[in-house]
Amino acid sequence: MKKLRSLIFAGLFALVSLTSLAQTPQMQLQRTMLTAGMFQINVQLAQTPEQREIGLMHRPSMPQSEGMLFIFEEPSKQCFWMKNTLLPLTAAFIADDGTIVNLVDMQPQTTTPHCSAKPVRFVLEMNQGWFAKKGMKAGLKLGGAPFQP
């Protein structure tokens, strides 16, 4: 019986540890610089399935000139939602050459899907309103290493 209690306690401890890790924002991802017209964006790169799954969840704030670039292996219709994401964001769905295909504003802590208008490999999340304030729309071409052949 004592052994069983120890196993149960160890299992519960492991579950609580995993839950708290899942609620920790990703802050130490690899970074790169992108250009959007005359503006520079410092982006974190979400490249693995785990990094893409966590994304910007649980982050209380993000500097205006920063974002997160989600990189997928193959172009496909990408859909994002905002479960456990505290910030209002705009998602830019981006073609391989860096061209913005479509922009979608997303509200925090919702499970409403927001999808690309066509298959893409890249999705850039920025604070909501950043693209609009800079006058950026679909068709604008972003620059940076991820978009170069």
Q: What is the pLDDT of residue 26?
A: 83
Domain count, the chain: 1
Asked whether residue 14 is domain-assigned, the answer is no
pLDDT grade, residue 15 (50/70/90)?
very low
Higher pLDDT, 5 or 49: 49
Q: State the residue range of the domain holding 48.
A: 28-147
Instruction: Residue 107: name the closest of 125, 133, 126, 81 by CA.
Output: 81
Give CA–CA dist 106/66, Å, rounded. Answer: 17
Q: What tens digit of pLDDT does each residue of 74-113 get?
A: 999 999 999 999 999 999 999 999 999 999 999 999 999 9
Asked whether residue 12 is domain-assigned, the answer is no
* Phi, psi values for residue 55, rounded to 5°: 50, -125
User: What is the value of pTM for the model shown?
Assistant: 0.84
CATH of the domain at 106: 2.60.120.1140
Asked whether residue 7 is domain-assigned, the answer is no
Strands 120-127 and 66-76: antiparallel
Q: What tens digit of pLDDT does each residue of 29-69 get?
A: 999 999 999 999 999 999 999 999 999 999 999 999 999 99
Q: What is the pLDDT of residue 22?
A: 54
Instruction: Evaluate whether 29 touches 71 at the Cβ level (below 8 Å).
Output: no
pLDDT grade, residue 25 (50/70/90)?
confident
Asked whether residue 33 is domain-assigned, the answer is yes
Asked whether residue 132 is domain-assigned, the answer is yes
Asked whether residue 16 is domain-assigned, the answer is no
Asked whether residue 4 is domain-assigned, the answer is no
Asked whether residue 13 is domain-assigned, the answer is no
